[in-house]
Amino acid sequence: MKFFYSPNACSLGIHVLLEEIGKPFELMRVEFASGAQYKEPFISLNPKSKVPALLRADGTLVTEWPAIAWYLAKSNPEANLLPQSIEGEIRVLELLDYMIATVHMRGFTRIFRPGNFTPTKADEAAVQQTGRDTVQAGFKLLAEALGAKAYLLGDYSIADAALFFLEHWAVKRAKLSIPPVISGHFERMLARPAVQRALAAEGLA
Ligand SMILES: N[C@@H](CCC(=O)N[C@@H](CS)C(=O)NCC(=O)O)C(=O)O
């Protein structure tokens, strides 16, 4: 299996899940600095020009964070990365969609790539502020979802790996404050050997 990633991108969360599973995989770095995601050979493999992407042994590609995480959890049941009940599964899907489609794509992407949201340079600061507001509102809701539990669903699941990369971005990239219960979750994630291995492999430790 080949895992396409870029250091410090949202692929970090999938990297954590691959480390949790512990089976061999090949790390394929996509150099965003040189625009490799928009060039051959990557663009033929993934015309979406995005990471994460997972190339499986049968030659088929899986893209989109929630789909990759779901595939990894379902194909490695012994890793216990999903709740057993339908109720638990729909809550994971609900959280994943919110974290990726809203907090990442409508929040952090505005902060990191304001130029994607406006053609006018002078508007970029306002775009970034909207991004910060979206992220802060997101963490408030996620803090309520987490409550006093150690992990979002109680037991560790793929949803925690998504929350982890958002926390990492808030603290290390965007320098945003996060609610205390989210900080506690971040610390628990940082203590997991799989997280430490993923950070080290991406040069982020
Ligand atoms: N909807 C996609 C989003 C993936 C995404 O936005 N990835 C970013 C990195 S965090 C990317 O590859 N960006 C490259 C670019 O837009 O140039 C998913 O769920 O995987």
Same domain membership, residue 91 and residue 177: yes
State the pLDDT confidence band at 188, using cuts at 50, 70 and 90: very high
Unique residue bearing structure tokens 């969360």 = 13
Nearest C-alpha to atom 14 of ligand 1 is from which residue? 50
**Domain range holding 104?**
86-197
Q: Please give the Cα distance from 127 to 146 (Å, whole number).
A: 28
Shared domain check, 103 and 152: yes
Ligand 1, CB cutoff 6 Å, lining residues: 9-10, 37, 49-52, 64-65, 100
50: domain CATH number? 3.40.30.10
Predicted model pTM: 0.97
Q: What is the mean pLDDT of the chain?
A: 98
pLDDT of residue 40: 98
**pLDDT class for 49, splitting at 50, 70, 90?**
very high
**Ligand 1 atom 2 nearest Cα:** 64
Could you tell me the distance, in angstroms and rounded to a whole number, from the CA of residue 37 to the centre of ligand 1?
10
Structural domain total, the chain: 2
Choose the final residue of a domain: 32, 55, 80. 80
* Alpha-carbon gap, residue 12 to 21, rounded angstroms: 14
What are 96-141's pLDDT values in tens digits? 999 999 999 999 999 999 999 999 999 999 999 999 999 999 999 9
Asked which of 80, 99, 128 is the last residue of a domain, the reply is 80
108 close to 167: Cβ distance less than 8 angstroms: no
- CA–centroid distance, residue 148 to ligand 1 (Å): 31
- 92 and 178 in a common domain: yes
Look at residue 159 and tell me if it is in a domain.
yes
Dump pLDDT digits (tens) for 109-121.
Answer: 999 999 999 999 9
For 52, counting Cβ atoms within 10 Å of its Cβ (0-12 exposed, 13-18 middle, 19+ buried), the class is buried
- Same-domain pairing of 59 and 124: no
Domain final residue, candidates 80, 97, 127: 80
The CA–CA distances, whole Å, from 92 to 9, 83, 84, 95 equal: 21, 8, 11, 5
- The per-residue pLDDT for 167 is 98
Same domain, 101 and 128: yes
Q: Answer yes or no: is 204 within a domain.
A: no
Which residues, in sequence order, are CB contacts of 180 under 8 Å at separation 6+? Answer: none
